[in-house]
Structure 1
């Protein structure tokens, strides 16, 4: 079928097409850009200045206790059922939501700073027959880049050549798998002959066909076609983003996956609202307590209805019904009044301490 590019539809909400095979050509940016592959910028932050308030509020309302207190606040705004002032719930609830929002905002600001720092790192890129400094975020799929000893690997690369005998390189993969011992990678002999000759590297027009972006750190399958010959590529021919070059003076590689498509970012996943086991336990407890509260209020509302039907008429002189009211309506309103009166079965002060 050939390579199926990964791309986004128009502004009307087109869906991303699933990539089945990656196809790229070295030193040919216009060709590679036609596939709309992800660039090498990363984004680990969850919010921006416009989405922070609605998204953060939505995430906080995933805690049932917050929904419970918001529901009480709405009830307290109804004069017919509320015997307490609305601010008795609004003030502590705002405090709980506000403190959590400030903490989440501080965490996300740090993520933005980290993203900017990483995206603005510089690396040597072969462009138009010359080695130039480029920011990581501007590196594209198909670019040939140069790494030196102790450099972080910019993107997922197919190794082309190195300064070591037999075209070996040594990398530290602690950020990927936690292992501090050095791993060995080796370039193909046919590309190792390119060395660091800029003219040879500029003339290199090899084509790579490989698997689509995935999170498998220990597997890679692909082929390099060069000068009419095809050569198999495996995990030993690839340098992954997150690795650090060690004990190797220099090496060259061609970018195959950038940014969000790299195996490192594929494994990191999307930043989501953290839900700990304590969160789940709190949700279960709040649900059980609310069920018990509803049971108590139902029993008392039924008692109110019985009392209204038997003895309530005797007190009409002192407590007259409002126009159009009835014992059934009084019992219904009483149910919600009892919910407000007994709301302390879930004390918001305990939830403030938990947060």
Structure 2
């Protein structure tokens, strides 16, 4: 009896698991045909600093990192020695205990807030396939290999590989503001072999594995392979990965298989362990405490020397019957002076700082001037140890494209060849657009990753990965080159009332290595063109007209605009012969299937 394809597939998966468990991750979809299961992290997350067991040792360790607390603890211990202390036994230990109690209460209150936030996140619910049916489970119970369903405006409970979506073009849109601070939507593409699985019954029967790289903190990198019985292996990349911390937008629902959970997700791998945070005031206080302690010891030694001189002077009075001065007397005298003069270092300093910071944090939490009404987000002081740092800020460094511009950029004018055109000039519908400007405007409406979103009033809002892209697409729309629709392989542009459909053959996104973005598109006449945009040096070094007079004049204008503090961007267009494109495409596909890292070779 010959083995079936599914049984041989399962055995091959088992052997692969045994060989590569330590190097990579093999995720069994729906946990079917399992011979070997690699242990993975629980999806329960914890960002709190303490537990009932660890609170006391960690708290005491952090408190006695302060030299003042160490000093007063030493004084309190010395005061407990009978016939040694010239003061009471409890004059230091009671204030020190009060200081430690106040600090402990503050730490407990702040950590309880963290635990409450953790509990709220872990108890969120999501739909998961279990035993052939959809069930509702809490996030903390999700395991690697589970197939989950996430609806619009919901957050992803773990790192998922996208299987299918409600979108007819097999894409979905996500918001990554919690990861990179960008509120613009990003697009994700379903794998070809699973994009048709929109019926839950098909997902219940889905089998196979996802061969993924080990957990990594690189949020923009992912390499994997989707392996199914009797099907070709399909490569997976960042465009098939849905990260925990992001939200689903403009898509009714998606199905995905869990590949990383809990603290193995990319979001939490970028988190660092909650450190003990010391402000500049604390650091200066520690230094001053050391200096005062040195002076304090010198004073005690000086007083002990004076006591010895006085003792020797009194020895001439025989009737006092003084004994000889020995080493034990020196120790007693120094200890007595240490206890007597310890108030030189104020014990109230630390408790005053702790109380003031705690009250400052309360004022920050209720400050209406720090409340953002649009997003309904108030200021939250998660730790009060660094409040005084805010008062020591002297300089704020910010880039001109984000913080200072409120992420709102406007295209002022464009320069093509020897001509320069303002947007208001080109927006006149009665004025014809020159051919070279026409190519530039097409490049602006094609070479981007923006997503059009139609508003209830019929207007189009563009969600782009950067403010540059949104500003360019908005400016082109004002001139009459309206980006109307995007599918997984085409872009629809309305050029002053005429509909144009461009087939997108390949997209090479912007990267720090290339410093440019490229899109290869085919128009309705069948012409293949390469559209590029990027930094001026990245574009000019590839330009074929680098020696022409118009090109040199254009570079001078770019430099002049940059000197004025304006942001500049260069565009380029090239006609590609069909044979040249096919040769490059074959090379690009081979590299992609091998899941090699780094950007593909640009044409």
Q: TM-score, normalised by structure 2?
A: 0.53
Match of 2:217 in 1: 215
Match of 1:187 in 2: 190
Q: Does 1:200 align with 2:202?
A: yes
Distance 1:178 1:315, change over 3 A: farther
- SS at 2:194's partner residue? helix
Q: Is the 8 A contact 2:44 2:262 kept in 1?
A: yes
Offset at residue 97 of structure 1 (A): 0.7
Q: Is the 8 A contact 1:29 1:143 kept in 2?
A: no
Match of 1:268 in 2: 271
Offset at residue 149 of structure 1 (A): 0.4
Distance 1:238 1:313, change over 3 A: same
Higher RCO by CA contacts (8 Å cutoff, separation 6 or greater): 1
Larger radius of gyration: 2
Match of 1:14 in 2: none
Match of 2:19 in 1: 2
Q: Is the 8 A contact 1:174 1:243 kept in 2?
A: yes
Offset at residue 315 of structure 1 (A): 6.6
Q: Is the 8 A contact 2:32 2:208 kept in 1?
A: no
Counterpart selection for 2:166 from 163, 168, 178: 163
The 2-side partners of 1:316 and 1:263 are apart by 84
Match of 2:341 in 1: 342
Offset at residue 98 of structure 1 (A): 0.5
- SS at 2:113's partner residue? helix
The 2-side partners of 1:182 and 1:97 are apart by 48
Higher mean C-alpha deviation, range 242-251 or range 75-84: 75-84
The 2-side partners of 1:198 and 1:183 are apart by 26
Bigger share in helix: 1
Match of 1:279 in 2: 282
Alignment RMSD, CA only? 2.3
Higher mean C-alpha deviation, range 45-54 or range 62-71: 45-54
Q: TM-score, normalised by structure 1?
A: 0.87
- What whole-Å deviation, never above 9, does each CA across 1:190-227 have from its counterpart, x for those lacking one? 12122x22232122223122222222222222222223
Higher mean C-alpha deviation, range 226-235 or range 39-48: 226-235
- What whole-Å deviation, never above 9, does each CA across 1:117-172 have from its counterpart, x for those lacking one? 11111100011221110111110011010000011111011111111133211111
Q: Is the 8 A contact 1:305 1:330 kept in 2?
A: no
Q: Is the 8 A contact 2:27 2:212 kept in 1?
A: no
Offset at residue 302 of structure 1 (A): 3.4
The 2-side partners of 1:29 and 1:295 are apart by 76
- What whole-Å deviation, never above 9, does each CA across 1:273-304 have from its counterpart, x for those lacking one? 32223222222221222122222222333343
| Structure 1 unpaired stretches of 5+ | 6-19
Q: Is the 8 A contact 1:29 1:140 kept in 2?
A: no
The 1-side partners of 2:353 and 2:94 are apart by 17
Offset at residue 326 of structure 1 (A): 4.3
Offset at residue 28 of structure 1 (A): 0.5
